[in-house]
Amino acid sequence: MRTTVELNQHESYWEISLIAPERKPPTLDFQVLAEFDAALKVVEESINNPDSISPRCLVIGSSSDRCFCAGANIAILDTLSEETMSEWVTAGHGVLNRLEDLPILVVAKVRGFALGGGLELALACDLVLCDETAQLGLTEANIGFVPGWGGTYRLPQRVGAARAKRMFYTAEIVDADSALAIGLIDEVKGAAEMEDWVEEFSREVSSKSAVGISGFKAILNAQDRIARDANRLQEIEYSLECIKNAETKKRIRNFLDKRKL
């Protein structure tokens, strides 16, 4: 059993959901990234088709009320090597950059844990909505990695360089209220209120100018694109350094052994 991806159309927004295996958190691997990318292509095609009713808002969510996304599938950790690391980092950047570049509002709807690549997924969205159970962090330092999908770029954009350093150096996991206070997220709502908030906010955005919103977002993203592309190359470089490191290999093995207990 593994995580799958679903695209659903609601009245005022569309939603891409990570569907978790039974009793497991949603995680990411090459197949999940491919399915997510395919869903994004459907969204793009609808937006670009003048004859279709296209979404004005896309929500990224999870079927689990305990975990938005726990990051990489442990099976991926067991296969990453000097030969596969560049492909892994490049694949994640490709999907998250495509998500970030959609010309519509994108909202991450986070319940429970958003860790590692899961937080990087949320950070690629325009807005991050959490319930009170949310726990967020880039925890790669625990196993000897650097963030590989833009986390070294997007986290400081959200919280500033000093706070981003502290969070990463300590593998800090922050709760929803703390995340709101430091600017990591945009809204905290009760679990029962999240759907109403998304519905209301997406309707409000839909009443505004589509061309104005897409233009504003395109201008902002264009300003960051050179830095974002450079970040991808740097994350590949340092991810390769990490995977070659003996301590990292030991940390991965210890982590995998604990998960098997």
Whose tokens are 């300003």? That residue is 223
Q: Determine whether 44 is an active site residue.
A: no
| CB of 96 closer than 8 Å to CB of 221 | no
Q: Determine whether 72 is an active site residue.
A: yes
Q: How far is CA 5 from CA 8, 34, 36, in A?
A: 10, 9, 6
Q: Which residues 6+ apart lie within 8 Å of 254 measured at CB?
A: none
The catalytic position among 15, 120, 187, 235 is 120
Alpha helix positions (H), the chain: 30-48, 74-77, 85-100, 117-123, 151-159, 161-169, 176-181, 194-206, 210-244, 246-260
Joined tokens for residue 51: 């004859």
Closest CA to 29 of 98, 141, 112, 118: 118
Q: What does the alpha-carbon distance between residue 94 and residue 87 come to, in Å, rounded to a whole number?
A: 10
The catalytic position among 35, 140, 187, 235 is 140
- The separation between CA 239 and the C-alpha centre of its own chain, rounded to angstroms, equals 18
Helix 210-244 × helix 151-159 angle, to 10°:
120
The catalytic position among 72, 91, 108, 124 is 72
The catalytic position among 117, 118, 148, 151 is 117
- The separation between CA 150 and the C-alpha centre of its own chain, rounded to angstroms, equals 9
| CB of 125 closer than 8 Å to CB of 13 | no
- State the catalytic residues: 72, 117, 120, 140
